[in-house]
Amino acid sequence: MVAEIDAIGKSGEDLYIKVPRGTVVRDSETGKLIADLSKEGQVELILPGGRGGKGNSHFATSTRQAPRFSQDGEKGIEKEVILELKLLADVGLIGFPSVGKSTILSVVTSARPKIADYHFTTLEPNLGVVKTEYGDSFVIADIPGIIEGASEGIGLGLRFLRHIERTRLLLHVIDVSGSEGRNPVEDFKIINKELKKYSEKLSKRKQIIVANKIDSMQDESLYNNLAKLAKEKNLEIFKISAVTGEGLKELFAYVSKILKTLPKEELEETEEKVVYTLKEEEQGFDVRKENGIYIVDGPAIEKIMARANLEDNESLYYFQKSIRFLGVEERLKRMGVKEGDTVKFIDWEMEWFD
């Protein structure tokens, strides 16, 4: 991400970039978390700008009332970051492709996801608001189809799985019609295996089984076996038909009731955040002699060199005064420097004179 702002110097302003709520910011090189912008109106300082310089008036004295040099400001921190959006919703619809998640969303909310009779028609998560007859409302997200191997990135798995992390309740939609020869029990196990492999915490999230497409169910045993599994795992199961609307009212009345019992836990990233700060002023420097040349470097010298205009006589004088104040001149003399020797400050060479 590259961001630029025209204002400079004293008139320079902080640069704010608006992002959707739920955006996670990471260092692209290390992958470390920088910020999790999941709260309403949240503002975070991602990277600090450099310390300001000093204008020529700062260097005015009684004998030098109009100095022709100034001190440049420091460079700020530059980083390439990754912005990752994780949806914030109360309820997440999960399940294999084409089990009816998008149809459910389109029926119970005003959202209009693309729906067709083939796999992976939903390529991005869709959000909608469910309003119950009692005046309650909650946000529901259609999480696109997860397949076996999603936790390893097969298909678009990782893009989809990250959105489920921000939901409080999961509705696991399973096709019990038998029209595609699928086994509902196996589908349930595969999806939950992927959830656990992706996140142990996610695998323990409250889950309700939604047996869909009962209007075209060809084998009653498919539902019965799934209901038996639900009982073994102490999970609620609802029979519905997203197409005809059968069972939807009962399902979402129960969902509304359950949401009131679930704590609104902080769904932010739990890993430690990395904070980028400017280095404190360092006064260290090093002097050594290599091949007859005296080399002076170190943090303190870098600071001075970054702010000095060595092509200006007054600035050059200020540079010489600064290194004398640091003790560089004294160190050089102790090491035997004499007039005419070459002294190199970082990448700038000069002929020494007393």
Between 284 and 112, residue with greater pLDDT: 284
Q: Which of 30, 187, 166 is nearest to 100 (CA)?
A: 187
**Per the domain annotation, does 42 fall within a domain?**
yes
Q: What is the pLDDT of residues 35-75, one digit of tens each?
A: 777 677 777 777 776 666 565 555 555 555 555 555 556 66
Are 250 and 122 members of one domain?
A: yes
Q: Is 264 inside any structural domain?
A: no
* Mean pLDDT lowest among 20-24, 203-207, 249-253, 314-318: 20-24
- The domain containing residue 5 runs over which residues? 1-84+270-278
Please report the pLDDT score of residue 1 as a whole number.
41
Residue 235 confidence class, pLDDT cut points 50, 70, 90: very high
Give residue-wise pLDDT tens across range 268-299: 555 666 665 555 445 678 888 888 899 988 88
Q: Last residue of some domain: 278, 306, 323?
A: 278
Residue 219 CA to residue 217 CA, distance in Å, equals: 6
78, 138: one domain: no
Whether residues 125 and 156 share a domain: the answer is: yes
- More confident of the two residues 335 and 50: 335
Judgement on whether residues 101 and 230 belong to the same structural domain of the protein: yes
Mean pLDDT calculated for residue range 318-347: 86
What is the pLDDT at residue 317? 76
Residues 74 and 98 in one domain: no
Q: How many domains does the chain have?
A: 3
CATH (domain of 136): 3.40.50.300
Residues 109 and 255 in one domain: yes
pLDDT at 186: 92
Higher-confidence residue of 14 and 192: namely 192
Q: What amino acid is encoded at 266 in this protein?
A: E
Average pLDDT of the chain is: 75
Number of helices (H) and strands (E), helices first, in the chain? 9, 13
167-185 mean pLDDT: 88
Shared-domain flag, residues 104 and 250: yes
Residue 130 lies in a domain: yes
- 50 residue type, one letter: G
Instruction: Indicate if 117 and 247 belong to the same structural domain.
Output: yes
d(CA 81, CA 25): 7
DSSP state of 52: P
CA 264 to chain centre: 21
Q: Are 66 and 60 in contact (CB under 8 A)?
A: yes
| Length of the chain as a residue count | 354
Cα(288)–Cα(174) distance, integer angstroms: 73
**Domain-located, residue 30:** yes
Is residue 290 domain-shared with residue 231, that is, in the same domain?
no
pLDDT band with cut points at 50, 70 and 90 for residue 254: very high
Residue 172 domain flag: yes
- How confident is the model over 201-212, as pLDDT tens digits? 777 889 999 999
Express each pLDDT in 210-227 by its tens digit: 999 999 888 899 999 999
In this structure, are 103 and 251 located in the same domain?
yes
| 181 in the same domain as 106 | yes
- Residue 227 and residue 134 share a domain: yes
Q: How confident is the model at residue 184 (pLDDT cuts 50, 70, 90)?
A: very high
Query: What is the structure's pLDDT at 225?
Result: 95
CATH of the domain at 323: 3.30.300.350
Q: Is residue 28, in this structure, part of any structural domain at all?
A: yes
The per-residue pLDDT for 264 is 66
Q: Kindly state whether residue 265 falls inside one of the protein's structural domains.
A: no
